Amino acid sequence: MESTLTELQDVFRQVFGDDSIELQESTTAYDIEGWDSMMHINLIIAIEKRFKVRFATAEVAGLKADGQNVGNLVRLVESKTSANGTGRR
């Protein structure tokens, strides 16, 4: 999980243009300045490219729901990478 979190942190920093972002599993959209609906889409696209995965529309919408955090995103990415054989752990 740690390497996925580190890679996601790099993606977040690029998408939001902020090298000071430090992700924790408990980080939510409310913790990242500028994480609105448009940036959420940009973030998802960047994650899909970085990890060579595709998210279903319901998965993308679910990630923005109340109670979701970066830990949920890490687990989703890891499930996708292990399912498609990229195994980026």
What is the structure's pLDDT at 61? Answer: 86
Query: How does pLDDT run across 11-65, given as a tens digit for each residue?
Result: 999 999 999 999 999 999 999 999 998 999 999 999 999 999 999 999 998 887 8
Rounded distance between C-alpha atoms, residue 76 and residue 24, angstroms: 15
What is the structure's pLDDT at 72? Answer: 94
User: Which domains does the chain show, CATH number per domain?
Assistant: 2-83 (1.10.1200.10)
Query: How does pLDDT run across 53-68, given as a tens digit for each residue?
Result: 999 999 998 887 889 9
The residue among 30, 18, 17 whose CA lies nearest residue 70 is 30
Confidence band (pLDDT; 50, 70, 90) for 89?
very low
